[in-house]
Structure 1
Amino acid sequence: MILAVLLAGAGLGTGFASWFAPTSSESPRDRSTEDAEGPFAERQASVNRSHIPTKQLAEFAAPWLARMGDCTGDTQSGGPERGDGEQTRTRCTAGIVTVYWISYRSIADRDAPQARYAVQAAHSQHLAPGMLQPSPAPAEHPPQLHVEYAYQVPAGEHAGQTVAALWWSDPAQPVAGVLTAYWEEGLGSSWAPLRDLWRHTS
Structure 2
Amino acid sequence: MSSRGGPRIEPSPPRQTNKLLLGILAGLAAGLLIFGAGGFFAGRGTAPAAAPDPVASNAAPSAPSSLGVYEQSQVELNQAKLTGALAPVAQGWLPYLSSCEKNGDPGGPVLNKGEKTRVRCRFDGMSAIFVEYASVTDRDKARVKTLSQNVDARTLAPGVGPAGDKAAPSGRTAGSYVEYAYTVQENKVKQTVAGVWWDDTRAPIAAYLLAFWKSGLGEDWAPMRDVWGRYA
Please give the residue correspondences for 1:42-121 in structure 2 after superposition, counting only pairs within 5 Å: 42-52=72-82, 54-121=83-150
1:150 aligns with 181
- Partner amino acid, structure 1, of 2:76: S
Compute the displacement of 1:43 (Å): 2.2
Match for 1:162 among 188, 192, 201?
Answer: 192
Q: Deviation of residue 122 (structure 1)?
A: 1.2
- Please list the CA deviations of residues 68-92 of structure 1 after superposition, one character each: whole Å capped at 9, or x if unmatched: 1100111011111111111010110
Larger Rg: 2
1:125 corresponds, among 125, 148, 154, to 154
* Corresponding residue number in structure 1 for 2:49: none
Of 39-48 and 164-173, more deviation after overlay is shown by 39-48
> How many Å separate the matches in 2 of 1:195 and 1:2?
22
What's the CA shift for 1:34? 2.3
Q: Distance in 1 between matches of 2:3 and 2:119?
A: 12
SS in 1 for 2:211: strand
Q: Cα deviations across residues 38-93 of structure 1 (Å, max 9, x unaligned)?
A: 142222112111122x4120222011111111001110111111111110101100
Question: What is the number of equivalent residue pairs in this alignment?
Answer: 173
Which ranges in structure 2 are unaligned for 5 or more consecutive residues? 6-58
- Structure 1 or 2: larger helix share? 2
Alpha-carbon distance in 2 for matches of 1:76, 1:45: 19
Q: What is the CA distance between 1:197 and its match in structure 2?
A: 1.3
Residue pair 2:165, 2:175 contacting (<8 A) in 1 also: no
* Contact persistence 2:195–2:209 (CA under 8 A): yes
Length-normalised TM-score, structure 2: 0.67
Q: Percent identity?
A: 33
Counterpart amino acid of residue 2 in structure 1: S
Deviation at 1:4, TM superposition (A): 9.8
Q: Tell me the CA shift for residue 188 of structure 1.
A: 0.7
State how far apart, in whole Å, the 2-side matches of 1:51 and 1:92 are.
Answer: 10
What letter corresponds to residue 75 of structure 1 in structure 2?
Answer: G
For residues 208 and 79 of structure 2, the distance between their equivalents in structure 1, rounded to whole angstroms, comes to 16
Contact 2:147/2:163 (<8 A) preserved: no
Structure 1 residue 34 corresponds to structure 2 residue 57: no
